[in-house]
Structures are given as structure tokens and as C-alpha cells.
Amino acid sequence: MTKEHRRFNLQPYLRREPVTLALLTVLAIIVFGAVAGLSRLYNQQQNSLAVRWSSRGTADLQAKRYGAAVIDFRTALLYSRDNYSYQLNLAEALIGESRIDEAYAYLANLWDRQPENGLVNLELARIAAGRGQTNSALRYYNNAIYAVWPGDQDVERLNTRLELINYLLHINNKAQADSELIAMAANLGMDPDKHTLAGQLFLRAQDDQRALDQFRLALRSDRHKTEAMAGAGEAAFNLQQYRLAERYLRTAVNAGDKAGRTKMRIAELVLEMDPFRPQVTVANRNRIVIDAYAAAGARLKTCGTPGPTALPAATLTTLTQNWTKLKPKITLYRLRRNPDLVSTAMGVVFTIERQTNGLCGSTTDTDNALLLIANLHEGL
């Protein structure tokens, strides 16, 4: 076969090769497109199933059907394994089921992925608090306060700070709770409910002046707010501002607040029974001293019963002798003739009330008032 003949026989093949290659290319494109379409369809079905189970889980979580929610979100994660929201919701469902260790495992992993997530930090703070891990709890709470929150960040951060404050008060860390309250109170606007809540928390932290300030801010916005009126009365009472306390407490009691009735009565008695208050007349002062001296004598009579909280016998004897020795001189005539007897008599009264406090059974409102008056006049 000649060289020309061989070249002639190759020409049909050379003409067919591009056609075949083109056909194979088209076929590959069709197959690839089909595979891609099937893959998209599969992923869509997976996503659809994940969303469907997640929706069921959300409904169960909101209805506090925690066991069902756990199943729902675990099923959703079969179709969307790395979904952050599903894992977080599953952790919350596990917490609802009191399966804390399992929830913690999910939350720790989520924190590694997004350490700035507010809800993750908050849930970790709650777990640490429940385990008594105070330092970890405080760290996570503070992270949560300054973390990223969906929706209204200011509301979420305020609620988180409130939770932290309640936790600090629960563990009796009043100083740090007070610091957090000061930071919170600076951003409450003019909302009377928020100022009332802040005042109540300041009371629990034993910061009575700031509590009174918060209650006054609440009353500036809503002068008929009974809770703020009652709180202001309690704060003023603790600050020994008894005239102010009586006014606030009386208004609150008249508005239906029964809890403040006793303190209101004691504040009234402090104002009535303090012989050293300004502008009291001599005659009225002397009658007050006689009544106070009689009340202290009655108090001593309640101390004779033996018991684990009884006044020591030697102390009772000394107090009784001192009271009895001075008793004949405590008359209107003697007090009028010798004004120095007022301080002497009230010194005996105050000593009796202080030393018998908590040791001789229940006290009367008069005893409580006299003890508060004694505290007002520490020098006697």
C-alpha cells in the first residue's frame, strides 16, 4: 500500500474524531448537569427536612415540651449537621430536660465557634452558677452583657445585667451587686417600672440612699406608683429619716400596701417618743420620758423566762436594780425640777432596750421604736 493510499484512508477517521469528541463533551455536560441537579434536589430535600424538624422543635421548645424538642433538633441536625442555631436550640432543650452535661458539651463547642454570642455566654453562665463555679459564672455573665445579641441588644443586655445582679445578691456579694446596679441605673431613662425595680435591688444590696433616689425618680414619672412609694418609705426608714419614711409609708398603706403598716406605725412612734427631738415642749418631753421608762420596765418583765435566748441572770439583775433605783424619781414633778433626769432616765431605757434586744422574746412596736431612738442618740 502506497503512502498516498494510507494517507487517504486516515482522512475519514480524522473527520470523525472531532465529532465524537464533541458528542462525548455534550454527554459529559448532560451527565454533570444531571448529577448537579440531583445534588441540588437532594440538598433542597435535606434543607427542607431540617427546617421542618427545626420548626417542630421551636414549637416544642416554646411550649416547654423539652423531651420532644430534643428529638426534633437532633433529627434536624441529621440533615444539617453544622447548623449553629439548631445546636443552640438543642442545648436549650437539654437544659430544660436537666441534662446539663450534654447541654454544656454543645455550648462549649458553640462558644469556641462564636465566643461573642450573647445567648451562649448566658447559658454557660447559668450552668456555671448552678455548679457553684462563681468565677466562671461571673466571666460568662460579663461576656453576655457586652456580647452580640439578635434583636434589641439594649433590652437583652439589661436583662442579662439584672440576672447577674440577682446572682450576686444570691451569693451575698452585695458590693459587686451594688457596682452593677450603679452601672445599670445610669441608663434607665424615665421608665418608672425600671427605676422601681432598681430601687428594690438597691434595697437588697443595702444601698439605701441610692434606693431612695431610684424610688423618687420613679415617683417623678408616676406619683401614684404604690411600689415606689412603699420602697421609698422603707429606704427612708433604713436611713433613719423617720418623718419622710412615715409620709411615704402612710401613702403606700392608704393605697393598699399592707406590708408597710408595721414600719409606718414604728416610724410614727419614733417621732412621738423621742424626747430629744427639736421643738418638743418641756411638758410633752416629760410625759414621753415617763411612758418610755414604763415601757422599759415592762420589757424587763418579759426576760425572766429561762431558755436558750434568755438574758443572762446577772445582766437581768443589774438592769432591774438600776431601773428600780431610779423609778421613784421619774415623775412629772421631779423631771420638771431636775431636767438632767431626762438624759439619765433615757440612758437607762436605752440600755435596757439594747441589751434585751433579741434575748427576751417578742418585742412590741414601742420597744422597737425605743431601740431606734437609742440608735439615733448613740451617746446615751
State the burial class of residue 242 (Cβ atoms within 10 Å of its Cβ: 0-12, 13-18, 19+).
buried
Asked if residue 277 is part of any domain, the answer here is no
Asked if residue 31 is part of any domain, the answer here is no
The answer to whether the CB of 141 falls within 8 A of the CB of 170 is: no
Q: What is the pLDDT of residues 339-373, one digit of tens each?
A: 999 999 999 999 999 999 988 878 899 999 999 99
Q: Would you state the pLDDT for residue 309?
A: 63
Asked if residue 161 is part of any domain, the answer here is yes
Asked if residue 269 is part of any domain, the answer here is no
Q: Which of 133, 164, 128 minimizes the C-alpha distance to 146?
A: 164
The grid cell for 201 is 435591688
Asked if residue 348 is part of any domain, the answer here is yes
Q: Are residues 287 and 200 in the same domain?
A: no
Q: Are residues 286 and 170 in the same domain?
A: no
> What long-range pairs does 63-72 form, CB within 8 A, spacing at least 24?
64/96, 66/93, 66/94, 66/96, 66/97, 67/97, 69/93, 69/96, 70/94, 70/97, 70/99
Q: What is the CATH number of the domain that holds 218?
A: 1.25.40.10
Asked if residue 246 is part of any domain, the answer here is no
Q: Are residues 102 and 207 in the same domain?
A: yes
The CA-CA-CA angle for residues 12, 13, 14, to 5°, reads: 90
Q: Are residues 202 and 291 in the same domain?
A: no
Asked if residue 165 is part of any domain, the answer here is yes
Last residue of a domain, one of 191, 206, 224: 224
Last residue of a domain, one of 224, 239, 263: 224
DSSP state letters, 220-254 = HH-TT-HHHHHHHHHHHHHTT-HHHHHHHHHHHHH
Q: Which of 318, 347, 316 minimizes the C-alpha distance to 330?
A: 347
Q: Would you state the pLDDT for residue 312?
A: 87
pLDDT tens string, the chain, 380 residues long: the values are 555 555 555 556 555 666 566 666 666 666 565 555 555 665 567 677 888 988 999 999 999 999 999 999 999 998 888 899 999 999 999 999 999 999 999 999 999 999 999 999 999 999 999 999 999 999 999 999 999 898 888 999 999 999 999 999 999 999 999 999 999 999 898 999 999 999 999 999 999 999 999 999 999 999 999 999 999 999 999 999 999 999 999 999 999 998 999 999 999 999 999 999 988 999 999 999 999 999 999 999 988 766 556 788 899 999 999 999 999 999 999 999 999 999 999 999 999 999 999 888 788 999 999 999 999 997 66
Q: Which of 212, 250, 217, 247 minimizes the C-alpha distance to 231?
A: 212
The grid cell for 227 is 411600689
Q: Are residues 68 and 212 in the same domain?
A: yes
Report residue 227 CA to chain centroid gap.
17
Q: Would you state the pLDDT for residue 45?
A: 72
Asked if residue 11 is part of any domain, the answer here is no
Report the number of distinct structural domains present in the chain: 2
* Three-state DSSP class for residue 176: helix
The grid cell for 278 is 427639736
Q: Are residues 219 and 286 in the same domain?
A: no
Q: Are residues 192 and 89 in the same domain?
A: yes
Q: Which of 249, 251, 223 minimizes the C-alpha distance to 237?
A: 249
Q: Are residues 187 and 322 in the same domain?
A: no
Q: Are residues 190 and 72 in the same domain?
A: yes
Q: Are residues 209 and 316 in the same domain?
A: no
Q: What is the pLDDT of residues 13-61, one digit of tens each?
A: 555 666 566 666 666 666 565 555 555 665 567 677 888 988 999 999 9
The answer to whether the CB of 161 falls within 8 A of the CB of 198 is: no
Q: Are residues 294 and 215 in the same domain?
A: no
Q: Would you state the pLDDT for residue 206?
A: 97
Range of the structural domain that residue 356 is part of: 282-376
In the DSSP assignment, the letter for residue 362 is P
pTM exceeding 0.85: no
Last residue of a domain, one of 190, 208, 224: 224
Q: Would you state the pLDDT for residue 50?
A: 80
Q: Are residues 78 and 212 in the same domain?
A: yes
